[in-house]
Structure 1
Amino acid sequence: MFGISPPGWVHTLGSLPAVPLVIYMFARHGRIVPRSRPGTFYFFSMLIGAATVFLVAHQPVSNAVGAITLILLLAGYGVGLTQRLGRAGIYIETICLTLTAFLLMVPTVSEILRRVPDGHPLVTDLKSPLLLGAQASLLVAFAVGITAQVIYLRKVNTNIGR
Structure 2
Amino acid sequence: MFMFGGISYLGWFHTILGIAAIVIGLYLLIRDRFIFMDTKLANFYLLSTVITCAASFLLYGATGFFNTAHWLSVITILAVFFALALQRFNIFGFLTVYFKQLALTGTVFFSMLPTTAEILQRLPPSNPIVDSIEDPLVLKFYMAYVVLFGIFGIYQVIKISREDIDGV
Unaligned runs of 5+ in 2: none
1:146, CA displacement in angstroms? 0.7
Q: Following TM superposition, by how much is the alpha carbon of 1:42 offset from its aligned partner in structure 2, in angstroms?
A: 0.4
- Which residue identity lines up with residue 5 of structure 1 in the other structure? S
2:38 aligned counterpart, secondary structure = coil
Deviation at 1:70, TM superposition (A): 0.8
TM-score (norm: length of structure 1) = 0.89
For 1:113 and 1:33, locate their aligned partners in 2 and report how far apart those are by CA, in whole Å.
Answer: 31
Please report how far the alpha carbon of residue 111 of structure 1 lies from its aligned counterpart in structure 2 after TM superposition: 0.8
**Are 1:28 and 2:43 counterparts?**
no
Matches within 5 A, 1:119-134: 119-134=126-141
Match of 1:10 among 10, 13, 24: 13
Q: Distance in 2 between matches of 1:139 and 1:56?
A: 26
Of 86, 93, 99, the residue aligned with 1:86 is 93
Contact 2:72 2:111 in 1 (8 A): no
Give the CA deviation at 1:84: 4.4
For the residues of structure 2 that align with 1:20 and 1:98, how far apart are their CA atoms?
Answer: 13
24 and 126 in structure 1: CA distance in 2 versus 1, 3 angstrom threshold: closer
**TM-score relative to the length of structure 2:** 0.86
User: Residues of 2 paired with 1:117 and 1:84: CA distance?
Assistant: 47
- The within-5 A match list for 1:60-99 is 60-99=67-106
Q: Cα 1:23–1:60, aligned 2, differ >3 Å: closer, same or farther? A: closer
Q: Where does residue 163 of structure 2 map in the other structure?
A: 156
Shift in Å, 1:90: 0.9
Contact residue 83 and residue 101 of structure 2 kept, 8 A:
yes
1:139 aligned residue (131, 146, 150)? 146
Matched-pair identity in %: 28
The unaligned stretches of length 5 or more in structure 1 are none
Q: Which amino acid aligns with 1:87?
A: F
More displaced stretch, 48-57 vs 12-21: 12-21
Match of 1:55 in 2: 58
Is the 1:2–1:115 contact (alpha carbons within 8 Å) kept by the matching residues of 2?
no
Cα distance in 2, alignment partners of residues 2 and 73 from structure 1: 32
Q: Is the 8 A contact 1:2 1:119 kept in 2?
A: no
Displacement of 1:62 in angstroms is 2.6
**Distance in 2 (alpha carbons) for counterparts of 1:125 and 1:10:** 23
* Cα distance in structure 1, aligned partners of 2:160 and 2:140: 30
